[in-house]
Structure 1
Amino acid sequence: MAAVLPCKIIAQVAFKAGGDVFHHLVANKPQHLTKATPSKIQACDLHQGNYGTNGSIIQWTYTVDGKVQTAKQALQDIDEKKQQIAYKMLEGDLMELYKSMLITVHVETKGGVDFVTWTIDYELLKEDNPHPISLLNFFIELTTDIEAHIFG
């Protein structure tokens, strides 16, 4: 069996509803995403620590490609100044396909426009497992759904 190499996929979405609003919602109030995007996120439960705090553990129930899944993640690399937060995958459906996964969301302003950047760093458990393109598409749609919800 060939060695599995670390992989990375990135998507960047212009966000017209204010990058600071997006970061605050995702970092500090992720449980509210169930209201903003109920078709995508059904639950966000705190297992340890506090929302928006490094080392805290949260569990998501979400739907990707019509399939309900769960993910337990540790929050890390939270940086209010950079408007960045990372989610280290601990357990859940994705761990059946990936040896490791780190999802980072970062907000930056370029030319007066706020951009939300999603980065998925991962290692496949098996060479023929799919790359998490569906998950990246989920994050793109999630971002546009949050924007629509804020504009209401």
Structure 2
Amino acid sequence: MALGRNISPGQGAKYYRKDDYYIEKEGGEEHKLEWGGKLARDLGLQGKVDAETWEKALQGHFPGGVEIQGGSMVDPKTGERCHRAGTDFEFSAPKSVSIQALVFGDERLLQAHKEAAAEAMAFLEEQVGARRGHAGKTWETTGQALTAYSRSCWTPILPHDGQ
């Protein structure tokens, strides 16, 4: 199953830094996020995601002085219009599959999940685009996306923050 929702820079920074699970503190070894997508490659972003680069990326600021202006969204807490950092997609397998893969160590299921998520992200990347104009609503696809993905197919049980 894939779920997608728009996120503001603040939501992205808070969620992915929560309990330092996805992005470790300075010098941490257990990073869970890695850069992916054609745009990441073009920007020279590869390997582990560090907190400083991640938080700047959420604001649209990238290495080499590259600025990318994203869309806007209504902040669910304040009701104010704010910068939209991106869309968070979550690919999750049914619980029974996760248990079989992780508790019983079925590497085939882990590999199948990884391949399915990669294929889904490749499809989504081809669909990425932007609306140009207003009344005409011309949709222009770019075929490029910047992604950060978790290398694991599970997360620890954390209280849901309602976002």
Check whether TM > 0.5.
no
Structure number having the greater strand percentage: 1
Structure number having the greater helix percentage: 2
Larger Rg: 2
What is the TM-score of this pair, normalised by structure 1?
Answer: 0.29
What is the TM-score of this pair, normalised by structure 2?
Answer: 0.27
